[in-house]
Chains A and B, each alone.
Chain A
Amino acid sequence: GAGVSQSPSNKVTEKGKDVELRCDPISGHTALYWYRQSLGQGLEFLIYFQGNSAPDKSGLPSDRFSAERTGGSVSTLTIQRTQQEDSAVYLCASSLLGLNTQYFGPGTRLTVL
C-alpha cells in the first residue's frame, strides 16, 4: 500500500511569508506526528495527533507554528511569518494506535531566504 506522502517536496520562501506543508498518512493509521530536522541535528518532535483527541502541541517552537488534521486523515502544518531559523526538513510520520513504530514520509525541505 501507499506510504506517507508529503507535499511540496521543496519550498523556498521569503522571510515573513506564511507557508503550509501537507501530510497524507498511511491509510488506517490513526496517529500522526510532525518532526523537523535542522541541519546537522536529529529529528525534533513538533506535534502529535491521535484520532479525535486534542493534539499534543508541546513540541511547537513558537506560536507562529500551528497544525490541524481534518477528518482524522490529512494534516497541514502552517508556519506564519517565517524566519530563517525555520529552515529545515519537516517530516511527517504515522502509526497505528498503540504500536511503537512510526513510518515517515519523505519530508518537505523548507528554505527561508
Chain B
Amino acid sequence: DQQVKQNSPSLSVQEGRISILNCDYTNSMFDYFLWYKKYPAEGPTFLISISSIKDKNEDGRFTVFLNKSAKHLSLHIVPSQPGDSAVYFCAAKNGAGSYQLTFGKGTKLSVIP
C-alpha cells in the first residue's frame, strides 16, 4: 500500500519553461514533506521542504505547494534548466517525533535544451 505516490514516472520539459512535478499521499498524519533530487550513481540530494502548516515554500527557482485537503503537493521549477534533469523523489514524515521518511517512486525529469 503506497502512502506516497508519484504517478508520472517521467516528464519532458523545454529549457526555460516551467516543470511541475506532482505527488499525492494518503496518510493524513504526515506533517512534513521533502523533495529530493537524484542524479545517476549519486545519493538523493535534499532540494526543498514544507511543513504541513504551510501551503507554499519558495527557494530560488524551486517552489513547493501543499494542498492538505487534496493530500497533494507539487514542485515547480521555473525556469527549467538542462542541469535540472534528474529523478525527483517526494518524501513524507509521519508526525512529531517520527524520523522515517516514506518515499514515492520518483519522477524522471528531462529538460530539453
Interface of A with B (CB < 8 Å)? 4, 6, 31, 33, 35, 40-45, 48, 50, 56, 59, 91, 93, 95, 100-107
- Residue of B whose beta carbon sits closest to that of A104: B43
Contact partners of B89 in chain A: CB under 8 A: 42-43
* The stretch of B58-66, B77-85, B93-101 that contacts the partner chain: B93-101
Q: Which one of A6, A56, A107 has the greatest number of beta carbons of chain B within 10 Å?
A: A107
Q: Given A43-B101, A45-B100, A45-B101, answer yes or no on A102-B4 (Cβ-Cβ < 8 Å).
A: no
Contact across chains for A42 and B104 when beta carbons are under 8 A apart: yes
Q: Given A45-B100, A59-B100, answer yes or no on A103-B105 (Cβ-Cβ < 8 Å).
A: no
Contact across chains for A100 and B49 when beta carbons are under 8 A apart: yes
A41 to chain B, nearest CB (A): 6
Q: Which one of B49, B91, B99, B105 has the greatest number of beta carbons of chain A within 10 Å?
A: B99
Q: A42-B105, A43-B103, A101-B49 are in contact. List 18 more A-B contacts (CB 8 A).
A: A4-B43, A33-B99, A33-B100, A40-B105, A41-B105, A43-B101, A45-B102, A91-B44, A93-B43, A95-B99, A100-B32, A100-B93, A101-B34, A101-B46, A102-B101, A104-B36, A106-B42, A107-B43
